[in-house]
Amino acid sequence: MNQKNHSHENYERTEKVRLGSEKNFGLTFAVLFLILAIAPLLFQHPLRLWALITSAVLALISFTFPQLFKYSNRYWLKFGMLLGKIVSPVVLGLLFFLIFWPIGLLLKIFGKDVLNLKLQATASSYWIKSEEGLSTMKDQF
């Protein structure tokens, strides 16, 4: 039994997250700055020269000295992992409290028993007999 959470389930991460190459890291940011540079053209605004220059410099460094991105790449991955630990529970909480909880509340208000969970005092069994025969098992795949 796992003593940390008093559960038989192991919630620790077993897979290792691989760090991407420094070259890909630099090129990714070069493309992002390129998009940032040319996006105003879609709305008849001038080109962002600073973003275009940044994109060119990042691309040049990515091809010539990618090892310069070694620490940036590592810290960016750690930042992403931290962000994932914060954002995932928040998004799941919002999903639950803004979608599932109101639907459950409405179903309860209107007396719906979608899962057929209400106790039936007169029932001898809660077994649901299948209407279909063995023919439904033919050609399963």
User: Model's pTM, two decimal places?
Assistant: 0.63
Per-residue pLDDT tens for 43-75? Answer: 999 999 999 999 999 999 999 999 999 999 999
Whether 47 maps to a domain, the answer reads: yes
| Residue 65 belongs to domain spanning | 22-113
Phi, psi of 94, rounded to the nearest 5 degrees: -60, -40
Is 48 a member of any domain? yes
Helices 49-64 & 22-38, crossing angle to 10 degrees? Answer: 160
Could you tell me if residue 128 is inside a domain? no
For the segment 106-138, what is each residue's pLDDT rounded down to a tens digit? Answer: 999 999 988 888 888 888 888 887 776 666 666
User: Is residue 76 one of the residues assigned to a domain?
Assistant: yes
Task: Provide the number of structural domains found in the chain.
Answer: 1
Note whether residue 68 is domain-resident.
yes
**Is 122 part of any domain?**
no
Determine, yes or no, domain membership for 12. Answer: no
